[in-house]
Amino acid sequence: MQIIDGKAVAARVLEECRDGVAELAAKGVQPGLAVVLVGEDPASRAYVASKEKTCLDLGMHSVKHELPAATTQEQLLAVVRELNADPAVHGILVQSPPPPQIDEAAVVRAIDPAKDVDGFHPENVAKLALEDPSGFAPCTPLGCQRLLGEYGIETRGAHAVVVGRSMIVGKPMALLLMAKGPLGDATVTVAHSRTADLAAVCRSADILIAAVGRPGFLGDEHVREGAVVIDVGINRVEDPARKRGYRLVGDVDYAAVAERCRAITPVPGGVGPMTIAMLMSNTLRACRQQMG
Ligand code: GUN
C-alpha cells in the first residue's frame, strides 16, 4: 500500500510555478490573483488566507476582498467587475459557497472567462467538455488528476468511479478522466446520493474518487482489493482532544480501507494541498494567455 503524498507533489507544482513567476518577472510581468470571500465561514476563511499566503510566497500579486456576510448581489458584482477591469489581476476566485442572498451562478457568469482560474464559468465548463485546452478546469479535480499522474497510476482503460456530482469536483473530475490523452482515457462512472447499490458500483472501481463531503461515508464495503482511492473530502469533525476542537477527516474511512488499497490519499495531506497548487498553476497560465 502506498500513501499518496499530496504535500510533496504540491510542493513540486509550486516550485514549477515559482520558476514561471521568475520567467515572467524577467519580462516585467507579475501574475496576479484576486480572491473574494463573502461572510465569516471559518473553513472558507482558512482557505482564502492560505491562497493569499501561497500567492505572496511565490512572488505573485495578491488581492484579497473580505466582504461582510450581508453583502448584496450588486455589491459583489461591482467587485467582480472592478477585478475584471484590473490589468494587474489575471485570476479571480470567489470563494464558494457564498451566503444565501447571493446568486452564485450569476456571479460566476460575471467573471471574465479569461480570468476564471476556478474553471466555473459556463465558457470554461464547455471548453472542458469540448477538450479545448485554452480553458480552465477546476483546481481540485486537476489536482487529483496530477496525483494519479505523479504516482504512475494508469488511467487509460481503467474504471474510475467518481462519487459526487458537484460542479466543483465530481462533474469536472469525470470529464477530465474521460478526456482523450495520457491522464484520461478512463471508463468513468459517476455515482451520487441516488445511486442504487452504491457499494457494488464502488467495488467495481480501479480508481475510486470520493467527493461527497460526508465524513467516513465510504468504508470497507466500497473498496476492492488493489484499488486506488482518492479522497477529496475535507470534513471537520468535533474532537475535544484537539486544541482547536476538531480534526479533519475525509469521505473515506481511511483506517478501514487503507490496507487493501494499492494507493490512497490521506486527509489531511492528500488532495487538499493540490487544490491551491493547481490554482497557482492556472493563474500563471491565465497571466501568460492574457499577455499573449
Ligand atoms: N470552495 C471549495 N472549493 C473551492 C474552489 O476550488 N474554488 C472556490 N472558489 N470555492 C471553493
Q: Annotated catalytic, 51?
A: yes
Of 112, 115, 116, 118, the catalytic one is 118
Q: In the prediction, which pLDDT does 30 show?
A: 98
| Confidence grade of residue 176 (pLDDT, cut at 50, 70, 90) | very high
Q: What distance in angstroms lies between residue 113's CA and the mean position of ligand 1's atoms?
A: 16
Q: Do 124 and 135 contact (CB within 8 A), yes or no? A: yes
Pairwise CA distance, residues 258 & 278, whole Å: 26
* 96 CA to centre of ligand 1 in angstroms: 5
| CA 230 to chain CA mean position, Å | 12
Per-residue pLDDT tens digits for 214-268? 999 999 999 999 999 999 999 999 999 999 999 999 999 999 999 999 999 999 9
Q: What is the pLDDT of residue 280?
A: 98
| Helix pair angle (42-58, 272-291), 10° resolution | 50
| Cα separations in angstroms, 46 against 4, 43, 152, 178 | 23, 5, 32, 32
57 catalytic, yes or no?
no
- Per-residue pLDDT tens digits for 85-136: 999 999 999 999 999 999 999 999 999 999 999 999 999 999 999 999 999 9
For residue 205, what pLDDT band results from cuts at 50, 70 and 90? Answer: very high
Pocket of ligand 1 (CB under 6 A): 93-96, 118, 139-140, 168, 275
Please name the residue ranges forming H helices in 120-203: 122-130, 139-150, 170-178, 198-203
Indicate which atom in ligand 1 lies nearest the CA of residue 93.
9
CA 174, CA 166: separation in Å to the nearest integer? 10
Please report which confidence band the pLDDT of residue 11 belongs to, taking 50, 70 and 90 as the band edges: very high
**Tens of pLDDT, residues 271-280:** 999 999 999 9
* Residue 253 annotated in active site: no
